[in-house]
Amino acid sequence: MHRISIPAPAESPPEGAGFPIQDYAALGDGRSVALIAPDGAVGWWCVPNMDSPPLFDRILDPGEGGYFQIRPEGAFEVERRYRPDSNILETLVTTPDGRVRVTESLNSSLAGRLPWSEFARRIEGLAGTVRFHIQAVFGTRGDTASPWLQPNPNGCVFHVGPLLGMMRCTPNIRILEEQDRSITATVTLSEGERATVALLAAEDEPLGVLPIEEIDARIDTSDEAWRSWAGDLRYDGPHREAVRRSALALKLLLYSPSGAIAAAATAALPERIGGDKNYDYRYAWIRDAAYTVNAFLRIGAMAESKAAFTWLMQRLGEHGPRVLYTLCGDKAPEARVIEALPGYRGSGPVVIGNAAAHQHQHGVYGDIFETAALFVGDGHIIDQRSARVLSGLADECADRWRQKDSGIWELEEPQHYTMSKISAWQALARAVELAEAGHLPSTCVPRWQRERDRIAAWIDTHCWSEKRRAYTFFPGTERLDASLTLAVRFGFDGRERLSSTLDAIRAELGRGALLYRYSGAEREEGAFLACSFWMAEALAMLDRDAEAEAVFTGTLDAVAPGVGIMSEMADPRTGDHLGNTPQGLSHLALIHAACTLRGDRKRPFGRREGAG
């Protein structure tokens, strides 16, 4: 249980606005994700899809943003947790007058997602008598529409642009007021009494009027569906609860209509309070899809790994190796600023869309081929069309590795980034392995082998620093890059050089167990959580097990995620989370590290014996 005290409204900041990012819980239904603050305010919900405009956006606009809140009168204390092996949230609310339990769900069915969005909130009296206030204030969907209400005998109907919705509630909830864009209600509950309120929504389609009893029952149906899915996971190693919670967090980010995984569920949460690195992560990156296939294969989530791999191959066949796509597989929109939104804790600009869609990153080649190798290594089969696509990508990589790119960190200045060259090496190394095993056409294998070896020689010549005893960020610099921890997973080079590189990274970029992404990043952003788990994984693969365990547990202790949800970054001084949340890469890295700590160390070392 995660316990937080909430002051009375007159003493509070605007609902949902003042809480650290790690205090938000996340709900999902296979299409959308909602964030709920400890005071019961839903501060972020994009409907019907994760990359739709937000219906509730108060986390970015505490003054005028939309939200959906249930809270008791006066001051109160909350203890929050997810139900075991589930993404159903339970909150124990204690006031001077009594106790209640709030159970919340973005509902689904045992068969999967519903055709509409259904946000259900059940309130149960446990002791004493508690009066609750309920308020829904509808947002402008990113300053694109003006909300309005429509009278209806079956419930409060709302319109926001193409979005049609309805509030449904049990008869003991009394509607007090319906204004332009808001609905206010109240309910008083004593021990043994319960009430349910729900929001239903659909875009550009009719919306059925559903009995509130049916909606309430689907909370438990949804819980059963989550537990059924989690029950099939295979992981019994160290940090079992953290791994299972990370798997459930990743499941929230999976867009079930296509099999894509969103990098995160939010947009524009800052990488530093007051900074301007406020990006939109509600899209599907090739990198994240690749790491998802790998992670889910390692913990037995076969359907999701197959769906992610199929999505990946379909996108490559249709569009080639773009950095990212929409969740439906289309080109991501141009980045633009929403001037009307001030941003989380005043951190603007609020950016929608992502400029990285126009970049080239050699890393996508390595991610694609590593994923294909893991997929067939687990006993699955690559179809002929996908094999031809992969063969063409290997040829493309053999040409393009000589060029500069934007690197794994999507930097504006193209450069010969060391990690990008290692990723190109990785791609051709795996392409050769796949072809020699009969999974790819073998005509070009001699060329792939030659270019693979040329890349390795180029890295040796240009990217190793005797002064630092480390691989550097790019040639001609002594700066370091924490993503080079991934070179250990990929099997590049020998143990001595890689181990020395890890030591240099920890010494310069480390703050306790946390790591900044690269030299100089501490002036612009927080520590990148995935880097810490990559470091733990790399140390374990180098048989530095005690250090690996210390980094893993130290990271969890440093960031202390409230209900188990991690964002992109954290401030090493305070432990407060930064950046978008839930962040898929953070949870993926945790799973990879835990599996490696368990002893799952499949990737052999050495592009040559005695390297280093």
The 3-class secondary structure across 488-543, one letter per residue, is HHHCCCCHHHHHHHHHHHHHHHEECCEECCECCHHHCCCEEHHHHHHHHHHHHHCC
In the chain, CATH 1.50.10.10 sits at 232-598
Instruction: Please report the pLDDT score of residue 8 as a whole number.
Output: 84
DSSP designation for 355? G
| CB-based contact 114:47 (threshold 8 Å) | no
> How many CA atoms are closer than 13 Å to the CA of 14, on its beta-carbon side?
18
- 483 closest CA partner among 432, 397, 421, 542: 421
Q: Which residues of the chain have pLDDT under 50?
A: 15-16, 604-612
Q: Write the DSSP string, 200-217.
A: EEEESS------HHHHHH
Helix (H, G, I), strand (E, B) or coil at 434: helix
Amino acid (one-letter) located at 61: D
CA–CA gap between residue 520 and residue 258 (Å, rounded): 38
Q: Which residues contact 530 (CB under 8 A, 6 or more apart)?
A: 568, 583, 585, 586, 588, 589
Fold exhibited by the domain 232-598: Glycosyltransferase (1.50.10)
Q: Give dist(CA 1, CA 4) in Å, integer.
A: 10
What are the start and end residues of each CATH 2.70.98.10 domain in the chain? 2-208+217-230
DSSP sequence for 382-418: --HHHHHHHHHHHHHHHHHTTS-B-TTTT-SS-B--H
Instruction: Record the pTM.
Output: 0.95
3-state secondary structure 456-476: HHHHHHHCEECCCCEECCCCC
- Per-residue model confidence (pLDDT) at position 391: 98
Q: What is the C-alpha separation between 244 and 1, in angstroms, rounded?
A: 16
Assess whether the previous peptide bond of 582 is cis (omega < 30° from 0).
Answer: yes
Q: Which of 315, 210, 205 is nearest to 258 (CA)?
A: 315
Sequence-separated (6 or more) residues with CB below 8 Å from residue 510: none
Judged by DSSP in three states, 250 sits in: helix
Question: Going by C-beta distance under 8 Å and a sequence separation of 6 or more, which residues neighbour residue 523?
Answer: none
DSSP string across 73-139: SS-EEEEEEEPTTS--EEEEEEETTEEEEEEEEE--BTTB--SSEEEEEEEEEEEEEEEEEEEEE--
What do you get for the CA distance between the two ends of the chain, in Å?
A: 48
Q: How far is CA 487 from CA 4, 419, 421, 482, 498, in A?
A: 41, 8, 10, 10, 8
Per cent of the chain over pLDDT 70 is 97
Distance CA 64, CA 61 (A): 6
pLDDT at 307: 92
Instruction: List the structure tokens of 260.
Output: 């894509």
CB atoms within 10 A of CB 576: 18
How many Å apart are CA 324 and CA 334, to the nearest integer? 12
Cβ(582)–Cβ(599) below 8 Å: no
Task: Kindly write down the DSSP assignment for every residue of 294-314, as one continuous string.
Answer: HHHHHHT-HHHHHHHHHHHHH
Contacts of 29 (CB under 8 A, 6+ apart): 106, 107, 108, 113, 114, 117, 118, 222
CA distance 348 to 22: 20
Euclidean distance between CA atoms 526 and 348, whole angstroms? 16
C-alpha triplet 227, 233, 237: angle, nearest 5°: 120
Q: Of 306, 286, 557, nearest to 423 (Cα)?
A: 286
Closest CA to 556 of 587, 520, 525, 596: 587
Burial of 310 (0-12, 13-18, 19+ CB in 10 A): middle
Distance CA 312, CA 321 (A): 9
pLDDT at 429: 97
Q: Which of 464, 355, 475 is nearest to 411 (CA)?
A: 355
> What pLDDT was estimated at residue 606?
39
The fold of the 2-208+217-230 domain, in CATH, is Beta-galactosidase; Chain A, domain 5 (2.70.98)
Strand pairing class (284-285; 324-325): antiparallel
